[in-house]
Amino acid sequence: MWSYVWLPLVALSLFKDSIIMAKAATILLPSQTGFDISRSPVCSAPDPNLNYRPVIGILSHPGDGASGRLSNATDASSIAASYVKLAESGGARVIPLIFNEPEEILFQKLELVNGVILTGGWAKEGLYFEIVKKIFNKVLERNDAGEHFPIYAICLGFELLTMIISQNRDIFEKMDARNSASSLQFVENVNIQGTIFQRFPPELLKKLGTDCLVMQNHRFGISPQSFEGNIALSNFFKIVTTCVDDNGKVYVSTVQSTKYPVTGFQWHPEKNAFEWGSSKIPHSEDAIQVTQHAANHLVSEARKSLNRPESKKVLSNLIYNYKPTYCGYAGIGYDEVYIFTQQRSLL
C-alpha cells in the first residue's frame, strides 16, 4: 500500500522539478521579454582612457623554429604563429620585433606597440639575452614614466626575466616537464585580482586545479623556495600558481609583478587553441577557454596604454607584411612560423 501511494508522489515531485529546471534553463529572445526591439541601439562613447587599437610586439627567436628544415640562413629568426594568434584573438594587431636587426630599428618598433610577448625557445645567452634585457628595462622605464605597458613572458621568456631580475643565470634547476599537460595549483590565499586569472569563471578556476588544462614543455624550473629565497625576485613578483613535474618536483608556474603589468608563465597559454603537433596539448572546451582568457587579459592590459603612434608607421610594420610558413607535416614542433631575415626587416 505504501509503495503504491509513494511512487506516484515521487514521480509527480520529479515531474514538477523537471518543469522548474526546464523553465530556468529557457533562453528568451529580446522579443520574448517585452523589450522594445524597435528602439535605436545605444552606442556608448569610447572611453578616452583606453586604446581600442592596441598593438602587441612579439620578439623573434633565433632560428627558423623547425631545426633548420625551413631555413638554414645564419641570420634567420622566427615567431610561432600561435603567439600571433593569441594576441589577435584578444583583439590586438602584432608587430614583430626582430631580435637581430639593428637596435635602432628594433627600438623604434618598440615605440609602436602597447605591450610585448617574450616567447618560448632555447636561447639563453649572447645577443638574444642582451636584447631581452634591454627590452625589459625599456618596458620598466615606460611604466615608471606613467604608461601602462604589459609583458607576457612565456616559458623561455619567463626564465630569462627570472635570470635578469635575480642576476643569477644558474637559478633554474633541471625539471622533467616536457611535452605534458598539467593542472595549476594556486598558492594558498593568493589574491588573483590584477592577474591573468581575475576574469576566469569560478568553475574554470576550480577545474584548473584538478584537470590537465595547460601545456608544459620545458626542461628547467625554479622551486618556490628558491624563488622566494631570492630577495630581488620575491620583491618583484608574487607567485600565483605552482605545478609538479613528472618526478614530483614542485616548480613555480605563474607569477605576477606586484608593481608592473608583467606576467610570467612557465606553461604555454598559446598552444591549446593554436597548436596541433603534439597529442599532449589539451584541446577541450575548458582548455580553449584558458587560452581565450589569457588573450583577453593581455589585450585588456594593452588597451590601458595611451601610446598612439602614427598610423602609417604601424601599418608598415605589422605582421601582415609577412607570410607564415606551414611546418606541421612532421607532427612535431610548431604548426606555422613566421621567418625573418635582416634583409626583410621593415621600418
Ranges of H-type helices in 245-310: 271-274, 285-302
Residues 115, 168: Cα–Cα separation, whole Å: 26
The C-alpha cell at 330 is: 612532421
pLDDT at 41 over 80: no
Backbone angles phi, psi at 56, to 5 degrees: -110, 130
User: pLDDT for 208-243, tens place per residue?
Assistant: 999 999 999 999 999 999 999 999 999 999 999 999
Sort residue 167 into left (φ over 0), alpha (ψ -120 to 50) or beta. left
Instruction: Provide the strand spans (E) within the chain.
Output: 55-59, 61-62, 77-80, 93-97, 116-118, 151-154, 173-182, 185-186, 214-221, 237-244, 250-257, 262-265, 325-326, 336-340
Enumerate residues 6+ apart whose C-beta is below 8 A from 81. 274, 324, 334, 335, 336, 337, 338
| Per-residue pLDDT, 46 | 85
pLDDT score, position 25: 62
Q: How far, in Å, CA of 223 to CA of 220, rounded?
A: 10
Query: With 90 as the cut, is the pLDDT of residue 8 above it?
Result: no
Q: What are phi and psi of 251, to 5 degrees?
A: -135, 160
Angle, alpha carbons 184-174-178 (nearest 5°): 55
Q: Provide the pLDDT for residue 4.
A: 41
**Which tens digit of pLDDT belongs to each residue from 273-288?**
999 999 999 999 999 9
pLDDT at 177: 95
Q: What is the pLDDT of residues 313-329, one digit of tens each?
A: 999 999 999 999 998 87
Cell digits of residue 268: 604555454
> For a pLDDT cut of 90, what percent of the chain falls above it?
77
Lowest mean pLDDT among 16-30, 70-84, 332-346: 16-30
Each residue of 142-156: pLDDT tens digit?
Answer: 999 999 999 999 999
The span from the CA of 209 to the CA of 204, in Å, is 9
Question: Model's pTM, two decimal places?
Answer: 0.88
Q: What is the Cα–Cα distance from 141 to 302, expressed in whole angstroms?
A: 16
Q: Angle CA(210)–CA(184)–CA(193) in degrees, nearest 5? A: 115
**DSSP per-residue string spanning 95-123:** EEE-TTS-HHHHHHHHTT-S-EEE---S-
Cβ-proximal residues to 315 (8 Å cutoff; 6+ apart), any chain: none
> Is the pLDDT assigned to residue 2 strictly greater than 50?
no
In whole angstroms, what is the distance from residue 338 CA to residue 344 CA? 12
pLDDT band at 68 (very low <50, low <70, confident <90, very high): confident
User: What pLDDT score does 210 carry?
Assistant: 97
Q: Is the pLDDT of residue 132 over 50?
A: yes
Q: Which residue type, as a one-letter code, is found at position 255?
A: V
Q: How confident is the model at residue 18 (pLDDT cuts 50, 70, 90)?
A: low
Nearest CA among 175, 84, 161 for reference residue 129: 161
pLDDT, mean of residues 124-148: 97
* Of 14-23, 38-47, 128-137, 188-197, the least confident: 14-23
Which residues are catalytic, by number?
155, 268
Confidence band (pLDDT; 50, 70, 90) for 5?
very low
Domains and CATH numbers, the chain: 55-342 (3.40.50.880)
Quick: pLDDT tens for 156-203.
Answer: 999 999 999 999 999 999 999 999 999 999 999 999 999 999 999 999
| R_g of the chain computed on alpha carbons | 24
Tell me the percentage of the chain whose pLDDT exceeds 70.
Answer: 89
- The β-bridge relationship of strands 325-326 and 262-265 is unpaired
- Would the pLDDT of 246 be above 70? yes
> In the numeric block, which cell numbers belong to residue 37?
526591439
Residue 219 φ/ψ, nearest 5 degrees: -110, 0
Angle at CA of residue 36, ends 35 and 38, nearest 5°: 145
- Give the model's pLDDT for residue 330: 63
DSSP 268: B
Residue 1 has pLDDT above 50, yes or no: no
Computed over every residue of the chain, the mean pLDDT equals 90
